[in-house]
Amino acid sequence: MRQQQAPLWLSPATPPDAFPPSTQALADPDNQSGFDGLLALGGDLTSARLLAAYRRGIFPWSSATSPLLWWTPDPRMVLFPDKLRVSRSLQKRLRRNEFQITFDHDFDRVIRQCGAPRQIKQQVENGTWISAAMITAYGELHRLGYAHSVECWQEGELVGGLYGIALGTLFYGESMFARRTDASKVAFVTLVKQLQQRGVRLIDCQIYSDHLASLGAELISRAAFEHYLPSQVADCERLRGSWRAFNGRSDV
């Protein structure tokens, strides 16, 4: 059995791209420890460090009570846009045009809603990894043209949405929320259609969820994911800038 190294501790003075190889990430196939894929701890959330991490398939994800944690899970949940799966019921909802979809119209509200407590089985889930520092950091990436939001509106009310990072022909989905049935799914399907039209070939969903699997996302090995990375992020500026002019229709 391979002896694992302890995750690397980063400091704010550590160069932004000084992450160890992904092979040094903790491996816990059964995920009993909760640290499967943990690569490094500490550092900061500067735009330079975040972009350097995403270029290597690494992302931050921490609880409010833990230090900053950097992850590269194995396997990885991804969606190839041409494998998007839309159920009949979701197709019907899309045809009814119940929701209006916009892009980059209210990034701050979307990320804050993604981080808000959620109602699950009649109980409120208070824990969130989207801290005030995360909101500030991703807000700066949005200002720089790398982070983007998709808003789902119903009668003028924000009822769902998602946000993520676009580098080259790869989109890193970070989080989504819904206040109405299927609102986040409609936002996601609309996003996938828009990204596919613009040459995006891979959407990173990070870790498995039934919600994403129902839309066609699948697990691939970390090695396979990293095989795609160099060509996908080669032109990091490809989709940089505001997406406000994107068409909000899901049938384009």
The matching CATH number, chosen from 3.40.50.300, 3.40.630.70, 3.30.70.100, 3.40.50.2300, for 77-232 is: 3.40.630.70
Structure tokens at 202: 């891979």
Place 250 in a pLDDT band, splitting at 50, 70 and 90. low
As a 3-state breakdown, the chain gives helix, strand, coil percent values, each rounded to 5, of 30, 25, 45
Place 162 in a pLDDT band, splitting at 50, 70 and 90. very high
Q: In this structure, are residues 226 and 237 in contact, taking their beta carbons and an 8 Å threshold?
A: no
Structure tokens at 18: 């000084």
pTM of full prediction above 0.85? yes
CATH class assigned to 8-73: alpha beta
Q: In this structure, are residues 130 and 175 in contact, taking their beta carbons and an 8 Å threshold?
A: yes
Q: Shortest CA distance to 252 belongs to which of 90, 80, 78, 94?
A: 94
pLDDT reported for residue 149: 98
Cα-flanking dihedrals φ and ψ of residue 58, to 5°?
Answer: -110, 140
Per domain, the residue ranges of the chain are 8-73, 77-232
pLDDT top residue among 140 and 67: 140
Same fold, 8-73 and 77-232: no
Kindly give the residue spans of alpha helices, DSSP state H, lying in 67-118: 88-96, 107-114
Q: In this structure, are residues 69 and 38 in contact, taking their beta carbons and an 8 Å threshold?
A: yes
CA angle, corner 192, sides to 146 and 180, nearest 5?
100
Q: 187-217: per-residue pLDDT in tens?
A: 999 999 999 999 999 999 999 999 999 999 9
pLDDT reported for residue 1: 40
The predicted model gives 126-148 an average pLDDT of 89
Q: In this structure, are residues 141 and 165 in contact, taking their beta carbons and an 8 Å threshold?
A: yes
pLDDT top residue among 129 and 183: 183
68-94 burial: b if 16+ Cβ within 10 Å, else e: bbbbbbbbbbbbbbeebebeeebeebb
Across-strand partners of 40?
A: 8, 70
Helix (H) or strand (E) holding 101: strand 100-103
Place 6 in a pLDDT band, splitting at 50, 70 and 90. confident
